[in-house]
Amino acid sequence: MAALSLHTCRVQQPDATINRIHIFLHFTAILFLLYYRTTRLFLEKNVPTLAWSLISTSELILTIIWILIQAFRWHPVLRSAIPENIPGGIELPGLDVFVCTVDPKKEPTIEVMNTVLSALALDYPPEKLSVYLSDDGGSYITLYAIKEACSFAKSWLPFCKKYGIKSRCPGAYFSSYSDDERLLWSDKFRIEEKKIKVKYDEFKGKVEKVGGEDENNKVVPDRPPHVEIIHDNKNNEENVEDQTRMPLLVYVSRERRPSCPHHFKAGALNTLLRVSGVISNGPYLLVLDCDMYCNDPTSARQAMCFHLDSELSHSLAFVQYPQIFYNISKNDIYDGQARSAYKTKWQGMDGLRGPLLSGTGFYLKRKALYGKPNQEDMFLYEPEKNFGTSSKFIYSLKGNNEQFVAKKDDSRDAILEESRLLANYAFEANTEWGKEARFLYDCLLESTFTGYLLHCKGWISVYLYPKRPCFLGCTTIDMKDGLVQLIKWSSNLVQFGLSKFSPLTYGVSRMSILQSMCYGYFTFSPLLSVALLLYGTVPQVCLLNGIPLYPKVSDPWFAVFVTLYTSCLFQHLYEVLSSDGSIMTWWNEQRIWMIRIISGSLFGVLDAIMKCLCKNKVNLSLTNKAVDKEKIEKYEKGKFNFEGAAMFMVPLLILVILNIVCFFCGLRRVVIEKSLEEMFGQVFLSFFILILSYPILEGMVTKGKGK
């Protein structure tokens, strides 16, 4: 009898066909536009050369970025997993979960522990599951809290398994988000649930009390390595019932010295790779941000539907889930859901050779970090040069989890001693850690860069967007935090694009043209800030001086500009509506896109240029994930919060003021000179920018009133 299929994959029709037709028609219109600009510039004498050249440059940048983005639309696919088809007698492979945290003041300890607890409660054999918490701040509260979390887990995990609870993050379960999950349960369930709630409140109270003292929240930048097994699932669990068995839980705080580079999250992940290699050595890894908890306990089994497929497994590096956020408001003024990425672009990349590595919520094959498909053992030819001098770690690389565990006879103390050696900052000296394999150090966007090189080596990935979100996190709800994050991304993406690893040079020779175009879009899209800045200033200044840059309304060439403008708007609208969005979603995305490009992306490009020229020291700012009630209230009302973002908004503010002056003064001139037919394009452009900039205008008025 034929084996049951573990997953499905289908091309998104008619989207793919519609996209290809649109690409052909839109590109034809672009060629007409470029012909119009070029011929007028070189053949007509009365053309304003500087202004025409600048606007042509802007349109050329927009054209290049538009061409790159079409790769996402060429062959979008949808996948689904069928975990119930996994054969009952199959032995699932080991799985190591990595959770990373740094600063308890910006990443609340309770949220971190909720993520850890949700990972411990995954629907996976406890003896095959291990959870590692990387505390890169070395603070006392994190170590204290994980021990308390372990104690609470001994009650929480059996409760979840007994009643088949889906929301296994206790913070989410006891909130309003999971009210409908508790409607139809029995009185016995409610009694047990009440007891668990009391225990959770006690656990939470203890952690908050200890964390309330500043001394306990301090990040320790100068410290030795500390590795501690909080719960060992190998000892004294042979006769324990399945419902009460717990996975391995390990706390890791690597050595940090102020004078030595630590490589941020990539360095922490590589430390976890080494430490987990000599403790559990699971063939697969799940990487989670500290605020991205497991919302569906079956996510591991769903991912294994792909990793266990004999047709895919030899070349499959990772299964990527979308980042979905529980604190998105109905209006979503900041586009926190990132609809364009997770409902369009990732599905488009999945139809090529897979999506990029998104930093969290991915199930990764450990050996993919060390070699190429079907050549995973090549790195063992010079193991000490590649991986350092730890014989135990090198031995762990030579076999799978079962072989390694069966052969090792080291005591727990010996394993911990070896783990501390592996967590030492000097261990990576004169090795290949962070270079050709593992999580890479060349870019602060360690996951994106690592995933890119995995694709360059021939690995593939898949994207899974199930109906129930498998992971839920907390997104930024004010302008400042969002822009700080965007500046970091934009700066590093531009540096990545201009490096020797550029997708349009290095990548195009190692992967398909369409896939390299996708990566090229990500790395060069911040340059849209230059194009939009030119488009938001040059036509407006020319409007003020009565200089036309567009054809007359009665000129046939005017139809080319109208076609391109409406084509872009309707293509975006179609994508929004076909991905369950609304007209309001479309408008909010239009608005926040312009705001982000002219502020965050522009500063990111400038930062990248400064780093390339001056070789500035890298500085990474953590996104603040602590809750602020005032911010939440403003966000829920659909009001933009510019507090703390004044510096980032300067270019956009100048742009808005310039458009106000040019629009009204230019319109007055148009009326007097009766030149609306010649200047209509510039009048409309300035007016549209003002409409998109309404939140900025509102913020200026509100600040002026002192509110």
Angle between helix axes 446-456 and 513-524 (nearest 10 degrees) is 160
CB 390 within 8 A of CB 421: yes
447: phi then psi, degrees, rounded to nearest 5:
-70, -45
| Those residues with Cβ within 8 angstroms of residue 131's Cβ, 6 or more apart along the chain or in another chain | 96, 97, 99, 116, 119, 120, 247, 248, 249, 250
What one-character-per-residue DSSP string does 201-212 give? Answer: HHHHHHHHHHHT
Binding-site residues for Mn(2+), in ranges, read 265, 289
296 is catalytic: no
From residue 627, give the alpha-carbon distance in Å to each of 15, 176, 332, 630, 642: 40, 17, 17, 9, 17
Q: What's the helix, strand, coil split of the chain in %, to 5?
A: 55, 10, 35
Q: Which DSSP category does 54 fall into?
A: H
Dihedral of alpha carbons 279, 280, 283, 288, sign: negative
Dihedral of alpha carbons 214, 216, 217, 220, sign: positive
Q: How many CA atoms lie within 13 A of 499 on its CB side?
A: 14
CA distance 187 to 184: 10
Partner residues linked to 539 by β-bridges: none
- What b/e string do you get for 17-48 counting C-beta neighbours within 10 Å, with b at 16 or more? eebeebbeebeebbeebeebbeebeeeeeebb
3-state secondary structure of 436: coil
370: phi then psi, degrees, rounded to nearest 5:
-115, -15
What one-character-per-residue DSSP string does 232-260 give? Answer: -TTSS-TTS-GGG---EEEEEE--B-TTS
> Left if phi > 0, otherwise alpha if psi is -120 to 50, otherwise beta: which for 402?
alpha
CA distance 145 to 174: 19
CB 130 within 8 A of CB 94: yes
Q: Token pair for residue 438?
A: 């593992």
> Left if phi > 0, otherwise alpha if psi is -120 to 50, otherwise beta: which for 230?
alpha
CA distance 345 to 348: 5
| Those residues with Cβ within 8 angstroms of residue 662's Cβ, 6 or more apart along the chain or in another chain | 540, 541, 543, 544, 686
CB 488 within 8 A of CB 621: yes
CB 666 within 8 A of CB 540: yes
The active-site residue, picked from 15, 123, 135, 136, is: 136
693 is catalytic: no
- What b/e string do you get for 148-161 counting C-beta neighbours within 10 Å, with b at 16 or more? bbbebbebbbbbbb
228: phi then psi, degrees, rounded to nearest 5:
-140, 130
The active-site residue, picked from 447, 490, 529, 601, is: 447
At CA 33, angle to CA 31 and CA 35, rounded to 5?
A: 70
Binding-site residues, in ranges, read 106-107, 136, 265, 289
Torsion angle, alpha carbons of 364, 369, 373, 374, to 10:
-110
From residue 100, give the alpha-carbon distance in Å to each of 110, 126, 131, 291: 14, 21, 11, 9
What one-character-per-residue DSSP string does 501-568 give? Answer: T-IIIIITTTS-HHHHHHHHHHHHGGGHHHHHHHHTTHHHHHHHTT---S--TTSTTHHHHHHHHHHH
- List residues with catalytic annotation: 136, 447
